[in-house]
Structure 1
Amino acid sequence: MRASRLLSLLLLLQTRGRMTATELSAELEVSIRTVYRDVEALSAAGVPVYADRGPAGGYQLLDGYRTRLNGLTAEEASSLFLAGLPGPAAELGLAEVAANAELKLLAALPPEPRSHASRMRERFLLDVPGWYRGADDVPHLAEVSEAVWDRRPLRMTYRRWGQQVVERLVHPYGLVLKGGSWYMVAAPPGGSPRTYRVSRVLTAETAPGRFDRPEGFELAEFWKAYADEFRQRMYTAEAVIRLAPGREDLLAYTMGAEVVAAALAEGGEPDAEGRRTLTVPIESITHARWLLLRMGADVEVLGPPELRVLMAEAVAALGKMYG
């Protein structure tokens, strides 16, 4: 256990440079006293680690020192090859770079981790877009990613929902790939971060100068909060339905697994026919009609009344059409 922690400490100093004892203790999840002892152990083993005193001080390695140890287990090395998505890498213009990095990583691994990683690459493939939709067309992804990487302001024309075209100057903080679609997290100068779908960027060019990312901004944390808020804003009403026995999977496919799981957890026991009465969130009455019609007689809408009327009208129209 301690050997693994010492290696982690060494790699932290190698990759991040100077770090304080407080920062190291937080990363390693140990006490500051343990960090002091571990640093002494590394020094005794011949690792050139030294401390700078003062407010801006901390531990760091002697300039130019690097260890050849990577500390990867077979499973850790294998997992890295699952992260190498060829499609997104190609869209970012990094396909050749990613391939070369993969070859270099394989060459640097000991035999056992190399064997695991090779099998992982041969037997597992990550395909991001869904079945019934292709990936977005993102002709300006390269310009956007360059602005993100170099902290350059980005001037763009953007097609909003409803087809309105607007001009924006933004500071791009990061890119997110979600379900085959690229999203840029950016903020107008002095404004708050928001999201832009990169496929809706019509023109893009970097502007002079550089911007500073907000202190404490974390892309993953922002995206999680945004996704949670988006789901809450998406559902504006509720529908009450009776679900036929054994059709939970079909309802989950139609309305989303998380939605159905929550509805089932709060729903009552099946009635005499085996049907369960569930309350599910919906985006709108018309959207719910479109979704629930796909389930045919496996779902009966009990409310709200206007949705039940729309369902009845649609069923009557279908009956008239098919005689």
Structure 2
Amino acid sequence: MNRFDRAMAILLLLRNSKLPLSAAELARRLEVSKRTIYRDVDALAEVGVPVYAEPGRDGGFKLMEGYFISPIAFSVGEATSLLIGLALLDRLRAKPFANELEMARQKLLAVVPDYLHDILRQAEQLIGFEDLPYDVFHPEPPAAETSLSELSEAQVITVFLQGILERCAVEIGYFSPYSKARRNYVLSPNGIIWDRNHWYLVGQRPNTSPSLWRADRVMSITRHPQPIRDPSPFYVADWLGRKWLDEAIRNWAEMSPVVIRMTPAQAERLQRDWYYGHAEFETIAPDAILMRFGEGNQAWVFELLRWLGHGAELIEPHAWREAFIAEMQAIVTTYHAD
């Protein structure tokens, strides 16, 4: 084993060991003398590797916590896949660890051979990602004047992720465009989800189940001294598929119930929608289905009814029926104007 291979072997052994490794143990594993180990460790330190010695009976050499050993070789496919991932992250509206993103790309390009470097540079020019288009059928409340900038949203994600990695609580100031109010919460951070151009924080208040918090509505976020002891296992896969919308729409339906009668074909189309697909659909006749969901904005419900067209009937709120009839009559009048 030459000196370079031996130095890399020492790095890998230290990186993969939770306990310090003595010079004697390293010498035994690599079948060299302790003097050779000391010389190799000194060489690693001279080139900037953060290796240090812990004294004591159980002491030995360790790498500084968090030190990352860069790969020394990539195939074209491996390096391209990593660059595609970085390019996709770069296209997100709010990027966690935004300052580190470009440095990671440069480090990746720096460790590949020159011929591969040129190929990967070309890949960056040829591979792109479109932004998610605006969803005209699912409008959102206008952003509050006090909402954060996109850069601040990226910082929110970064601090929240740091809380996950360091197992520390965070305190957020959260603004709801529905209640028009800001409230502060102390959360144990569990995970994050990217969905339809928005980041969602999955966090848990004391003695409650985890909840979702939209990152662009977080007005402030700081570390909190509250300790997190024995966190419950969290699997983000349990939250994918927008399962949280099932309960949310049921709650909204209790506050602002909307019921629409429609044909099976219309119901089948809506059940494929990312949002309306989580509403309640009940078959009441071979040719009729009731859809139940929650919505307090009359204009948005009328837009859905116009899109559904013939075969759809607003059942509840009954008080909205006259207004919708008047709107339909106005449309008919427009067509008879000539």
**Do the two structures share a fold, i.e. TM-score over 0.5?**
yes
2:302 is aligned to 289
- How many positions carry a matched residue from both structures? 246
Name the CA shift for 1:123/1:108 in 2 (closer, same or farther; >3 Å).
same
Give distance in 2, aligned partners of 1:194 and 1:259.
21
Q: Tell me if the contact between 1:153 and 1:206 (Cα under 8 Å) persists in the aligned partners.
A: yes
Match of 1:153 among 148, 169, 183: 169
Name the CA shift for 1:68/1:100 in 2 (closer, same or farther; >3 Å).
closer
2:243 is aligned to 228
SS of residue matched to 1:79:
helix
2:188 is aligned to 171
Question: Shift of the alpha carbon at 1:144?
Answer: 5.4
Question: Shift of the alpha carbon at 1:198?
Answer: 1.9
Name the CA shift for 1:229/1:189 in 2 (closer, same or farther; >3 Å).
closer
2:330 is aligned to 317
1:102 is aligned to 105
Q: Which amino acid aligns with 1:157?
A: G
Give distance in 1, aligned partners of 2:208 and 2:264.
46
Q: Tell me if the contact between 2:192 and 2:202 (Cα under 8 Å) persists in the aligned partners.
A: yes
Q: Tell me if the contact between 2:91 and 2:129 (Cα under 8 Å) persists in the aligned partners.
A: no
SS of residue matched to 2:80:
helix
Match of 2:234 among 193, 202, 217: 217
Name the CA shift for 1:179/1:152 in 2 (closer, same or farther; >3 Å).
same
Q: Which amino acid aligns with 2:168?
A: R
SS of residue matched to 2:328:
helix
Q: Which amino acid aligns with 1:240?
A: M
2:126 is aligned to 123
Summarize the alignment of residues 1-323 of structure 1 with structure 2, pairs less than 5 Å apart: 17=16, 68-70=71-73, 72-84=74-86, 85-88=89-92, 91-92=95-96, 94-110=97-113, 114=117, 116-131=119-134, 137-138=149-150, 139=152, 141-143=154-156, 145-149=158-162, 150-160=166-176, 161-208=178-225, 210-212=227-229, 214-218=231-235, 220-224=236-240, 227-231=242-246, 233-234=248-249, 239-241=261-263, 256=273, 281=291, 283-284=293-294, 287-294=300-307, 299-303=309-313, 312-320=325-333, 323=337
Q: Which amino acid aligns with 1:98?
A: L
Name the CA shift for 1:98/1:182 in 2 (closer, same or farther; >3 Å).
same
Give deviations 1:93-135, integer Å, cap 9, x for gaps. Answer: x344211211221222246754553333212223444336999
Name the CA shift for 1:208/1:214 in 2 (closer, same or farther; >3 Å).
closer
Gaps of 5+ in 2: 1-8, 19-28, 31-60, 64-68, 254-258, 278-282
Q: Tell me if the contact between 2:14 and 2:62 (Cα under 8 Å) persists in the aligned partners.
A: no
**TM-score normalised over the length of structure 1:** 0.56
Q: Tell me if the contact between 2:94 and 2:153 (Cα under 8 Å) persists in the aligned partners.
A: no
Q: Tell me if the contact between 2:189 and 2:203 (Cα under 8 Å) persists in the aligned partners.
A: yes
Give distance in 2, aligned partners of 1:108 and 1:288.
56
Name the CA shift for 1:216/1:153 in 2 (closer, same or farther; >3 Å).
closer
Q: Tell me if the contact between 1:242 and 1:300 (Cα under 8 Å) persists in the aligned partners.
A: no
Question: Shift of the alpha carbon at 1:188?
Answer: 1.3
Name the CA shift for 1:234/1:142 in 2 (closer, same or farther; >3 Å).
same
Q: Which amino acid aligns with 1:97?
A: E
Percent identity among equivalent residues?
A: 16
Q: Tell me if the contact between 2:189 and 2:201 (Cα under 8 Å) persists in the aligned partners.
A: yes
Give the root-mean-square deviation of aligned CA atoms: 4.7
SS of residue matched to 1:81:
helix
**TM-score normalised over the length of structure 2:** 0.54
Q: Which amino acid aligns with 1:86?
A: D
Name the CA shift for 1:194/1:232 in 2 (closer, same or farther; >3 Å).
closer
Question: Shift of the alpha carbon at 1:311?
Answer: 5.7
Q: Which amino acid aligns with 1:76?
A: E
SS of residue matched to 2:206:
coil
Q: Tell me if the contact between 1:77 and 1:114 (Cα under 8 Å) persists in the aligned partners.
A: no
Name the CA shift for 1:118/1:67 in 2 (closer, same or farther; >3 Å).
closer
Report which of the two structures shows the higher radius of gyration computed on alpha carbons.
2
Give deviations 1:277-296, integer Å, cap 9, x for gaps. Answer: 7969563585553124146x
Q: Tell me if the contact between 1:153 and 1:172 (Cα under 8 Å) persists in the aligned partners.
A: yes
